[in-house]
Amino acid sequence: MKKIIALVLALIMVFALCACGGAPVAEAPAEDSSAADSSAAEAPAGENVVKIGVFEPLTGDSGAGGKQEYLGMQYANYLTPTVEIGGVEYTVQLVPADNASSADRSPTAAAQLVSEGVSVVLGTYGSSAAIAAGPTFESAQIPAIGVTCTNPQVTAGNDYYFRICFLDPFQGTVLANYAFEQLGATKAYLLGELGNEYDNGLLNYFEEAFTGLGGTVTKDNFPQNNSDFTSYLNKAQSEGADVIFCPVSIAYSTQIVALAKDMGLTTPILGSDTLDNNTVLEAAQGSSVDLRVSTFYADGANPEFDAGFKEFINSSSENLTNNGGNDNIAAVSVMGYDAYYVALEALKAAGSIDSTAVQAALWDVQYEGVTGNIAFDDVNGDAVRDTAFIKIADTANNTWVSGGSQQVAG
């Protein structure tokens, strides 16, 4: 009997939440909710609504990056909440689904978006989740626009996955050239997370390009959930490396940078787009760490955008937390912002909210975004990009300064 009461109570609790959360939506969102909420909340009924799926990791290893990317989309949605498709005004509704940074949860998160009837999907941060979800989108014939998934395998052989960022081979080569030519390094220490295809892909391309230029490298992998980097940095130091290349995820890079700060390491630390993050920057604050990262967008390239976005971040405490506690602009946010407008362009060009029409239209979309001109090649639907920006941490003022741009022919 007691057990039955317990079960009934537990069920009441759950269903109370269900009933409230899932209750059909008839009225406009409450006025006091913040901008972030109104974008996530459902749009007023009776109007035309076009749904854009946000397929991002909001928890898990890449949660921080995923949230920043989503923040950019929310800002874009806040600025441009409607779009005119085929002469009719549509309200854009962002539908988020959390893929928890993991491959085995990605197909269900993707299926969730498909069953919500989204016209186009944005995301994701982290390539392995994108690879796992690709076939789901493909079979449902819904186009996905990868924002910062840089692995070549995301779009290869999948006509429904597009992406607006550069690829790993490009980034690895760019950074190797930068290390060799600009930093004058001949010996590099490469450090990546064991079992992470992003890290190891970049390390391989870096190694290839760097040894091709005449440099030598030492390569190491640390195990997942490792939190002790002392031996690795000591090894780099004792081997006399001129540059440390560690394109690892935010949580690890913060630890590495913090450790470098404590050890008083002056060897330049070179990172990829993941290190372009406020938590990493803060870890280096007030030290002599020489941190350089390659990224999609140079801070300050578009002051108008920067000012507006900073205002948006500061407008609610939730946004501020999701951005890592300060209002520095992460490149992934800007990419998320651009991805949103690319999706709108595609919807306009398609003239309908039918996902297959959007897919057909995406191939020819041209958009002048904050991060530069965006267009897709006709092989895989990858962005045509030939420039990466280098940013250097200004540890005294806790901001990034531009280190110029780097190009690779072809």
Partner 1 sequence: MSAVTLEKKSKKGSALAFLGVLAVLVLVIVLENTLNPNKNIIVFTALKKGAVYALVAASMNLLNGFTGLFSLGQAGFMLLGGYTFGILTIPVAQRDSVYYIFDGSAINFSITEAMQNLFGGSGVGGAVGFVLGAIIALICAGLVAAFFAWLIGLPVLKLKSDYLAIATLGFAEIIRAIFQWEALGRVTNGANALKNFPTLASFNITNAEGEIVLRLSTFVAFAISGICIWLIVLLINSSYGRAFKAIREDEVAAEAMGINLAKHKRMSFIISSFFAGIGGALLAMFMNQVQAKTFTSTMTYEILLIVVLGGIGSISGSTIAAFLYMACSEWWLRFLDVPTSFKTAGGYWAFVIVLALAAVGITALLVLRRRKAGARKFSEMWSACVLGVVILGYDIYYYASATAKVPFLNSGFRMVVFSVIIMVVVLFFRKGLFGDKELSDVFRRLGRTKKAAPAEAEGGAAK
Partner 2 sequence: MQFAVSILLSGISVGGQYALIAIGYTMVYGILRLINFAHGDVFMTAGLILVYAAASMPLYISVPLMIMAIAALGFCIERVAYKPLRSAPRMSVMISAIGVSFLIQNFATYYTGGLPQSYPRLPFLSESVIIYGTSTKWVTIVTPFLVLALVVLLQILINKTKIGLAMRAAAKDFETCQLMGIKINSVISFTFVIGSTLAAIGSLLYFTNYTQIVPLSGSMPGLKAFVAAVFGGIGSIPGAVIGAFIIGICENIIKGTSFTVFSDAFTFALLIIILVLKPTGLFGEKVTDKV
Residue 76: contacted member of partner 2, partner 1, none (CB under 5 to 8 Å, by partner type) = none
Q: 255 and 282 in contact (C-beta within 8 Å)? A: no
> At closest approach, how far in Å is the CB of 63 from partner 2?
3
Q: Within 10 Å of residue 159's Cβ, how many Cβ atoms?
A: 15
Residue 95 vs residues 50, 117, 382: alpha-carbon distances, Å:
10, 10, 24
Q: Is position 220 an interface residue for partner 1 (rule: CB under 8 A)? A: no
Within 117-222, where are the H helices?
Answer: 127-140, 168-177, 197-213
Write down the residue that tokens 């990009």 correspond to.
Answer: 385
Q: Which of 36, 131, 283, 291 binds partner 2 (CB under 8 A)?
A: 283
Residue (203 or 269) nearer to partner 1, CB? 203
Query: Using CB under 8 A, which residues numbered 117 to 146 contact partner 1?
Result: 117, 128, 131-136, 139-140
Residue (114 or 233) nearer to partner 2, CB? 233
CA distance 141 to 121: 11
Residue (234 or 397) nearer to partner 2, CB? 234
CA distance 322 to 67: 6
Q: Which of 156, 320, 360, 375 binds partner 1 (CB under 8 A)?
A: 156
Residue (22 or 223) nearer to partner 2, CB? 223
3-state helix, strand, coil in the chain (%, to 5): 45, 20, 35
The single-letter DSSP state of residue 376 is: B
The candidate with the shortest Cα–Cα distance to 40, out of 104, 108, 98, is 98
The residue count for binding partner 1 (CB under 8 A) is 75
Q: Is position 254 an interface residue for partner 2 (rule: CB under 8 A)? A: yes
Residue (260 or 313) nearer to partner 1, CB? 313
Q: Which of 53, 65, 72, 96 binds partner 1 (CB under 8 A)?
A: 96
> At closest approach, how far in Å is the CB of 171 from partner 2?
23
Pairing between strand 291-295 and 387-394?
antiparallel
Q: Is position 26 an interface residue for partner 1 (rule: CB under 8 A)? A: yes
The candidate with the shortest Cα–Cα distance to 130, out of 299, 339, 295, is 339
Query: Using CB under 8 A, which residues numbered 201 to 240 contact partner 2?
Result: 220-232, 234-235, 238
Query: Using CB under 8 A, which residues numbered 171 to 200 contact partner 2?
Result: 194
Residue 88: contacted member of partner 1, partner 2, none (CB under 5 to 8 Å, by partner type) = none
Residue (50 or 250) nearer to partner 2, CB? 250
Q: Is position 110 an interface residue for partner 2 (rule: CB under 8 A)? A: no
Write down the residue that tokens 């057909």 correspond to.
Answer: 360
CA distance 11 to 30: 28
Q: Is position 251 an interface residue for partner 2 (rule: CB under 8 A)? A: yes
Query: Using CB under 8 A, which residues numbered 372 to 401 contact partner 2?
Result: none
Pairing between strand 372-375 and 366-369?
antiparallel
CA distance 267 to 280: 17
CA distance 382 to 45: 36
The dihedral formed by the CA atoms of 363, 131, 171 and 333, expressed in degrees to the nearest 10: 80
> At closest approach, how far in Å is the CB of 312 from partner 1?
17
CA distance 385 to 265: 34
Specify the stretch interacting with partner 2 by CB under 8 A; choose among 19-27, 32-40, 136-144, 253-261: 253-261
Q: Which of 102, 182, 352, 387 binds partner 1 (CB under 8 A)?
A: 102
Residue 9: contacted member of partner 2, partner 1, none (CB under 5 to 8 Å, by partner type) = partner 1
Q: 367 and 337 in contact (C-beta within 8 Å)? A: no
Q: Is position 284 an interface residue for partner 2 (rule: CB under 8 A)? A: no
Q: Is position 59 an interface residue for partner 2 (rule: CB under 8 A)? A: yes
Residue (23 or 409) nearer to partner 1, CB? 23
